[in-house]
Amino acid sequence: MKNKYLSTSIGLYFNYFVHGMGLIIIALNMDVLSLKWGTDAAGVAVVVSSFGIGKILAVFFSGKISDKFGRKPSVMLGMLFYLLFFVGILWSPTTTIAYFFGIIAGFANSFLDTGTYPALMEAFPKKSGPANIIVKAFVQSAQFLLPLIVGFLINQQLWYGWSFILLIVILSINLIFISTREFPSTTIVPSETGKVEVKDPKGSFHFSIDEICLIIFGFVAQSLLYILSQWIAKYGSEVVHMNDGAARMLVSYGSIAALVCVLITFTLGNKGVKSPYFLMTYTFMASVISFILWAFPTPIVGVVGAIFLGYFSAGGLIQLGLTLLVEKSKRGKGLITSLYTIAEGIAVFTIPLAAAAISKVNIGGIFLMNSLIAFIGFSLVLTVFIRGKRNPAKEAPVSQEFKNEAI
């Protein structure tokens, strides 16, 4: 509570509350938007896919902007892009125009990521893991709340646009708030000796094995999150033959479990448990549970599997992986966050295609793929962990955050 950047962090977290709603607001309003744009559900889904394109395009310069001009400009640009997206979607008369604003939303996501995660790590250098994982709590809470808001608007026969207006108002107020906040330095970090050292924002072209493993982990973490959120309901209805309502509840079970995971991980992280232990445990368990879902398809396995898979694969893997990557790298936090985001973006494009192809044969097979991906993630983090044990002096260059601090 004594940290002078506490109020700044609260503003950053509220951005991700809006972001969490922004990710699903088009899907939740799919019926009315498809009528407005003169298309079908597939056409609206294409608009949603534009988020990934915008995110990948932006990461090539958002990280550099964050490192060169500071975290605050990057965050505020992300907020402005999101405001443009919400207003643009409300105004868009066609899917073509909406697609453009979807790309803008991808820009917003990229600028928020490359500004927010480094800022939180710089504001809370001794608690960087817990500070970043709270982002997931705000995203998860928003995605639990927005369906209730949209459902209320539908039941009361109110204009669907009020859900967008709500986010515009929250984001506008927060933009004013953020503009008045102080952000930490982008180059000054405390070393293990207590002295202040300057971290090289550029780094070299050469990537270490640790950096390569953890950048690839971004692909793994995003893949696990996607498969759970997009396919667990279909698993329930098509594989274990639940009714539609019960199958949709699997998503809710996973979301609640993910929020519980965030709270437990935050608590343990504050007590000194380091991120490699979380990452190895969570990915290994996600692999085992996914295999069980594939091998023993029954309704009870579906329910229990959704809960535990939500806990182990959707409770903050992306944030913890990024935290560990930044701790292991000498490069600027904005740049390394961009590289991690590119890996996530690749997953956004490739995994849906792979899952769609597998679903034509057997939807259950998607979770066998999920098991393999999770095990690859476990192997990547295990490699980093073993290398750190063998070379303790090189475990966390410059800032020594990983060696001495919680998570």
Beta strands in 85-226 (DSSP E): 188-190, 196-198
What pLDDT, on the 0 to 100 scale, is given for residue 396? 43
What one-character DSSP code corresponds to residue 196? E
Quote the CA–CA distance of 264 and 176 in Å, as a whole number.
Answer: 33
Task: Please report the domains of the chain, with CATH numbers, ordered by start residue.
Answer: 6-186 (1.20.1250.20), 209-404 (1.20.1250.20)
- Phi-psi category of residue 184: left, alpha or beta, with phi > 0 → left and psi -120 to 50 → alpha: beta
What pLDDT, on the 0 to 100 scale, is given for residue 155? 84
Cβ atoms of 269 and 129 closer than 8 Å: yes
pTM: predicted TM-score of the whole model, two decimal places: 0.75
Q: What three-state secondary structure class fits 189?
A: strand
Q: Which of 373, 363, 153, 68 is nearest to 239 (CA)?
A: 363
Most confident of 24-33, 118-127, 303-312: 303-312
- The residue that leads in pLDDT, 313 or 393, is 313
Q: Which residue has the tokens 């890996």?
A: 343
Q: What three-state secondary structure class fits 70?
A: coil
Cβ atoms of 76 and 175 closer than 8 Å: yes
Q: What is the DSSP string of 345-406?
A: HHHHHHHHHHHHHHHTT-THHHHHHHHHHHHHHHHHHHHHHHHHHH-GGGSSTTT-HHHHS-
What pLDDT, on the 0 to 100 scale, is given for residue 339? 86
202, pLDDT greater than 50 = no
Q: How far is CA 170 from the centre of its chain?
A: 21
Q: Which of 357, 373, 344, 355 is nearest to 51 (CA)?
A: 344
What pLDDT, on the 0 to 100 scale, is given for residue 12? 93
* Neighbour-count burial of 193, counting CB atoms closer than 10 A to its CB (0-12 exposed, 13-18 middle, 19+ buried): exposed
Q: Which residue has the tokens 């303790």?
A: 392
Quote the CA–CA distance of 248 and 259 in Å, as a whole number.
Answer: 18
Phi/psi for 309 (5° steps) reads: -70, -35
Q: Count CB-CB contacts under 10 A for residue 90.
A: 17
Interval 2-22 mean pLDDT: 87
pLDDT digits (tens, 9 = 90+) for 55-110: 888 877 887 888 888 889 999 999 999 999 999 999 999 989 999 999 999 899 88
Partners of 189 in the β-ladder: 197
402, pLDDT greater than 80 = no
